[in-house]
Structure 1
Amino acid sequence: MNENHAPRAPETKAAGDTLDLKDAFGISRALDEQKRALDSLSLKRVRPVLGRDGNRAGPSEHKDAFDLYMRSGDDRQLRALDAKAMSYGSGQDGGYLVPAETETEIGRRLAAFSPIRSIASVRQVSAAVLKKPFTVAGPAVGWVAETAARPQTATPTLAELQFPTMELYAMPAATAALLEDSVVDLDQWIASEVEAAFAEQEGTAFVSGNGTNKPKGFLDYNKVAEASWAWGDIGYIVTGVSGGLPASSPSDVLIDTVYTLKAGYRQNANWVMNRKTQASIRKLKDADGNYLWQPPSAPGQRAMLMGFPLVEAEDMPDAAANSTPIAFGDFARGYLIVDRTGVRVLRDPYSAKPYVLFYTTKRVGGGVQDFSAIKLLKYGTA
C-alpha cells in the first residue's frame, strides 16, 4: 500500500481547547443579558419623556451641564444643549433654564409653604397669557312633548378670562467653598434658598395683589353684599358690628358664611384667615361649652373650624372696621394659579465679591376663575 494513502490518526485537541457544554450555555446567557441591557439603554435614549417629573435612572445631561455652570460658571455644555435643541429662551445674559428636576423641586416646596397655592388650582403653561373662556349664558333648553316641534336653541354666549404671567425673582448667594464642595446638592440648595422668597411674594399677591406686574389677589376684586352679587364680584356678608363679631351668638355669622356657598362648593371649602383672626375665632364655643376650633387630627393635617379645614395666610387683613379678614370657599375651583414653564438662573460672580449671586426668576400669574366659589365675612354693618 502506498504510504500516501495510509489512514490518518484522528486529530486530538489540547486540553485547554476543550469547551464544556455548561460553559457554552453560560457564555450564551451572558451575551443575551448584555444585548438586553444595550437594547434597554437605546430605547431610553429615543423614548420621549412623558411629563416633566418623569423618573430617570440617573441625572440628565441637562442637569450635569447645569451643575457645572452653577459651580464654575462654565456654560459651554449648556450652550451646546441649547443649540442642539434650537432653544432661544435662555442664554448667557438672561440666564439658563434649570433642569426639570430642579423646577419640580421648587414647585413642590412652594406648594408646601405658600398657603393659597396649597389649596388653589395650579396650571402650567408655555405662553405668556392663559386665556380661559367661560359661558355667560348657556343655550336655551326646555321640556317638549314626544311629537311636538323643537325650535332651534339659542347660541351660547362666551366671554374670556385672561391670566397673564408676571416675573418673580430671588437672588440667593453662595460662597466659593459651598460651590466647590461636590457633596452639596445644588438642586436642593437653590430650591431651599428661593422657597421662602417666592412663597412670601406669592402669598401676598394671591391674596391682595393688584394685577400690575403681579397676580391679581381675590381681595382686589370688587366686593359686594351677597344680596347684590353678580359674576365678576366677590360676595360678602356682614357681622353687623363694626370691626368685630357680634357679642351675642358670634358663631352664627360663621354658619351664615358657610351656607352662603352653594352645596357643590362646600364639599371642598376652606377657611382662610391670618393668625390674629384665628386666635380670636379659636376662643368661640358652642352652647355646650365646646370649642368650635379643633386641632389637627394628625401631623401634617390642618385645624378644623365647624368641620372645614382652616388655612393660615398671614397676608389676610386683620380684624378692623369694614375689613374682610375671613374668606371661605372652594379655592381649587375659585382661584387659578398659572405657572409658566421654566425657571431661570443667572450666575453673577462680580456684583458681591467674594460671594456668587444666583439671580433666579420664574413667571407666575393668578386670578379668580369662578366668582361663585369664594365668599368673605366683612367686619362691618353694610
Structure 2
Amino acid sequence: MSMHTSPLAYRGVTRLRAEGDPNKILVELNKAFADFRAAHDEQLRGIDKRFADVVSAEKVDRINAAVGDLQGALDEANQRIAALASGGAGGAPGRPRDAEYTKAFLAHMRRGDVQASLNKGTASEGGYLTPVEWDRTITDRLVNISPMRAICRVQSISTGGFSKLFNNRGTASGWVNETAARTVTATPTFGTLTYTPGEIYANPSATQQLLDDAEVDIEPWLAGEVETEFAYQEGIAFVSGDGSNKPNGVLTYITGGANAAAHPWGAILTVNSGHASQVTSDGIVNLIYALPSQYTSAARFAMNRDTQNKIRLLKDGQGNYLWQPSYQAGQPPTLCQYPITELAAMPNVAAGTKPVLFGDFDMGYLIVDRIGVRVLRNPYKNPPYVEFYTTKRVGGGLLNPDVLKALNISA
C-alpha cells in the first residue's frame, strides 16, 4: 500500500458485510492485510521522516482495524451460510424432517392448540415441549453462532446433573527377579466432577394479529429471536460463568481462578507473556510449546477481537507475521498456523489478565444439555401481545486441564 492511500479505501466493509459474499470479502481481506504488512513495515523502518510518528501509527491502526473488520465480515458470512444450510434465521429453512410436527407447532404458535401427540409426557408439568424438529433446528443454529459450542464437546443428559469419573492414575510397578517376592503395589484412585445445568431463557413476543395474518413462517422468526439471546448468554457463561444458575466458565479453572482446585487433575496452567502489560511473540511461541505434543493436532487459539488486533502486529525472528488471514472461504484466520476462534467474552490484554487460551477445546471443555428447548405460550400477561417463554437447561465445566494452556500477561 502506498503512503498516500486514502483513508476512505476501506469504507466498503459495511457494504461487503451487507452483501455477505465470502469470496468478495476474502479478496478484500487479503488485499487489506497486504497493505497492512507494507504500512507496518514502513512504520518500523521509519522510511518517511516527513511525518510525525503519530501519523504513521494512525495509518497502521486504521488499516489494522480494517483487516479486523473484513475478517469479522468473512466470519459472519461463513456463519450465515452454515446457518442457512441447517435452516437458520434470515433464510428459508430446508424441508421439515417431520411435517406433522411442523404443522402442529405452527398451530400452537398461532392459536395455542396443543395436540396430545406432542405432549411427550410433559402435560403434568404445565409446559409445552416444542416439536423435536424445531428443537434440533435451534440446537443446530446455536452450534453455528455460538463459538464454544462449535469447538467444545457437547453431551445431552436425561437427569438433573451429570457426574464424570476421572482416573487419577497412581498405579505403581517394579522390577524383580524370578524368585523375588511380589509386594502389593499402589493402585489408582478416582476423582469426580459434577456438571449441573442452569436454565437459560428468552421471552420474545408478537401480537395475535401478526400471528393470525402473517404470511411469513413463524418458526424461523421465533428461532431467530431465541438463538440470538441464547448464544449471547451462553457465550459469556461458557467463558467466564460463575456456576450460579449457569455453567462454570473455562476461565474459572485457570490457576488462580475460582475453580482452580475443582478438577481432580488440577488447574489449567499459565504461561507468562514476557511483558508486564503486552502480548509478545515469544509469549505466543512459549504458549504453544507448553502444550504437550499429543494435544496439538487439534489445538486452536481463543481470544477476543481486540486481542487479535494487537497480535496482528507480532512477527517472528525472520520478520514473518504470526497472524495470517483466511485464505479460503469457510476457514478461520491462523496464528502460528493454528486456527483462531473469536470469543467476545475473553478479556482484553492488560496486566494480569488471561486473554488467550490455546489447546484442544473438544477434549478440554464439556457442555451438557438437559432435555431440549421448551416453549410456553402466554397470551394473557400482556395483551395484545403473545409471549413465547422459551427455556433451555444447560451446564458446562472443565473436562481435562492438561489439554489447555492460558497466556498470562506478566513479565
TM-score, structure 2 length as denominator? 0.70
Pairing 1:134–2:166 present: yes
- CA 1:81–1:308 in structure 2 vs 1: closer, same or farther (change >3 Å)? closer
- Shift of residue 172 of structure 1? 1.4
- CA 1:58–1:259 in structure 2 vs 1: closer, same or farther (change >3 Å)? closer
Pairing 1:215–2:274 present: no
1:312 corresponds to which of 336, 342, 345: 342
Q: For the residues of structure 2 that align with 1:220 and 1:90, how far apart are their CA atoms?
A: 38
Q: Could you tell me which residue of structure 1 aligns to residue 72 of structure 2?
A: none
**Percent of residue pairs identical:** 47
- Shift of residue 224 of structure 1? 5.0
Q: Could you tell me which residue of structure 1 aligns to residue 327 of structure 2?
A: 297
Pairing 1:201–2:240 present: no
2:149 corresponds to which of 93, 96, 117: 117
Pairing 1:242–2:266 present: no
Q: Which residue type is aligned with residue 155 of structure 2?
A: R
Stretches of structure 2 lacking an aligned partner (at least 5 in a row): 1-93
The number of residue pairs the alignment matches comes to 314
Q: For the residues of structure 2 that align with 1:370 and 1:221, how far apart are their CA atoms?
A: 10
1:247-258 aligned at under 5 Å gives the runs: 250-258=280-288
- Secondary structure, counterpart of 2:151 in structure 1: coil
Note the alpha carbon deviations across 1:100-144, whole angstroms, 9 max, x for none: 111111111111111111111000111111110011124334566
- Shift of residue 81 of structure 1? 4.6
Stretches of structure 1 lacking an aligned partner (at least 5 in a row): 1-54
1:138-177 aligned at under 5 Å gives the runs: 138-142=170-174, 153-177=185-209
Q: For the residues of structure 2 that align with 1:211 and 1:58, how far apart are their CA atoms?
A: 36
- 8 Å Cα contact 2:316-2:322 kept in structure 1: yes
Q: Which moved more, 1:143-152 or 1:360-369?
A: 143-152
Q: Which moved more, 1:369-378 or 1:149-158?
A: 149-158
- Secondary structure, counterpart of 2:236 in structure 1: helix
- CA 1:244–1:60 in structure 2 vs 1: closer, same or farther (change >3 Å)? same
Note the alpha carbon deviations across 1:147-170, whole angstroms, 9 max, x for none: 877655543211111000110001
Pairing 1:343–2:382 present: no
1:365 corresponds to which of 386, 389, 395: 395
1:220-231 aligned at under 5 Å gives the runs: 220-223=252-255, 231=265
Pairing 1:283–2:313 present: yes
Q: Which moved more, 1:140-149 or 1:193-202?
A: 140-149
Q: For the residues of structure 2 that align with 1:371 and 1:90, how far apart are their CA atoms?
A: 42
Q: For the residues of structure 1 that align with 2:334 and 2:178, how far apart are their CA atoms?
A: 51
Pairing 1:233–2:267 present: yes
TM-score, structure 1 length as denominator? 0.75
Q: For the residues of structure 2 that align with 1:251 and 1:337, how far apart are their CA atoms?
A: 32
Choose between structure 1 and 2: higher strand proportion.
1
Q: Which moved more, 1:169-178 or 1:129-138?
A: 169-178
1:99 corresponds to which of 131, 147, 161: 131
Q: For the residues of structure 2 that align with 1:285 and 1:292, how far apart are their CA atoms?
A: 5
- CA 1:144–1:90 in structure 2 vs 1: closer, same or farther (change >3 Å)? farther
RMSD: 2.7
- CA 1:275–1:153 in structure 2 vs 1: closer, same or farther (change >3 Å)? same
- Secondary structure, counterpart of 2:332 in structure 1: coil
